[in-house]
Amino acid sequence: MQDNTSKADFVEIREPFSGLSYKIEGRPDYSFLTVQIPANETLKVEASSMASLDTHITMKTKLKGGFSRFLTGESLFVNEFTANKAAGEIGIAPGTPGDLMHQYLDGQTIYLQNSAYVASTMDVNLETKWQGMVKGFFSGENLFLIRCSGKGDIWFNTYGATIEIDVQDDYVVDTGNIVGFTEGLDYKITKVGGYKSLFLSGEGFVCRFTGQGKVWIQTRSADAFAAWAHIFRPVKSRG
């Protein structure tokens, strides 16, 4: 595949920049990520997200979290794409319609809901088997968190557009709208109101963040969309 795009045009304009050259198109509704992989280097990509690639790029599949975690749904399938002998380009299309975000980690740690992870470079460590949080952090959604640490690029996606919140003291987010957050923020899962409100108001559990850091939220919730779409489902008559 011939690439006539210069690196200066390819990388989104921002200062300072570290990491791989990439571009994001189609945001915020149907974001598409294209990454330039340097020669003999490897990019980790969420399974089933690869849309296009140069022919000399090879792939291997890894299971993060181990087989026992796979049986409980707490593992992450990651494909590793290597640009053999020459730089190559890969196109990545996440499964959900929405935005894509990039972060360059330099010793920092962020936590992502498992469905948000899209891709990362090899020196970014992905942990699904770690102590400190329990399955069901996003109460009622049966999701687990991925701990992302180390040094390198990481990309994650959202359902809908992305809003980045700088938390300076405390902030409350519905659990269905949380995409990720930085290490250093304390959190507590609580109800919006009493138990009557929990079952009748349409509002469920929220996460109360305290401290200083960033929280990324998505403008749409999968559960809210499912509830809205449910009333339009075809129903068989019992005549």
d(CA 208, CA 123): 31
Residue with tokens 């069901």: 136
Cross-strand partners of 190: 206
**How high is the pLDDT of residue 235?**
74
User: DSSP 3-state assignment of 107?
Assistant: strand
Q: Is the residue at 230 inside a domain?
A: no
- Domain containing 170 equals 8-219
Q: Which helix (H) or strand (E) holds 68?
A: helix 67-71
The amino acid sitting at 182 is T
| Range 108-120 burial, b when 16+ CB lie within 10 A, else e | bebbbbbbbbbbb
Measured CA to CA, the distance from residue 167 to residue 185 in angstroms comes to: 8
In a domain, 236, yes or no: no
Q: Is residue 232 part of a domain?
A: no
The letter for the amino acid at 55 is T
Domain assignment present for 119: yes
153: domain CATH number is: 3.60.160.10
Model pLDDT, residue 154: 97
Q: CA–CA distance from 10 to each of 3, 33, 132, 136 (Å)?
A: 10, 11, 39, 39
27 strand-pairing partners: none
Judged by DSSP in three states, 177 sits in: helix
d(CA 145, CA 130): 9
Within a domain: 97: yes
Question: Is residue 137 one of the residues assigned to a domain?
Answer: yes
Q: Please, what's the b/e burial string for 129-146 (b: 16 or more CB within 10 A of its CB; e: otherwise)?
A: eeeeeeeebbbebebbbb
pLDDT by residue for the chain (239 residues), tens only, comes to 444 444 444 444 344 456 999 999 999 999 999 999 999 999 999 999 999 999 999 999 987 654 444 434 445 789 999 999 999 999 999 988 999 999 999 999 999 988 899 999 999 999 875 544 544 555 444 457 889 999 999 999 999 999 999 999 899 998 889 999 999 999 888 876 544 444 444 456 788 899 999 999 999 876 665 665 667 778 776 65
Domain count, the chain: 1
3-state DSSP helix/strand/coil % of the chain, to nearest 5: 15, 45, 40
In a domain, 238, yes or no: no
Work out whether strand 117-121 and strand 124-127 pair parallel, antiparallel, or are unpaired. Answer: unpaired
d(CA 52, CA 73): 28
Q: Where are the beta strands (DSSP E) in 26-83?
A: 32-37, 42-46, 50-53, 57-64, 76-83
Q: pLDDT at position 66, please?
A: 47
User: How many whole angstroms separate alpha carbon 90 and alpha carbon 169?
Assistant: 40
Asked whether residue 237 is assigned to any structural domain, the reply reads: no
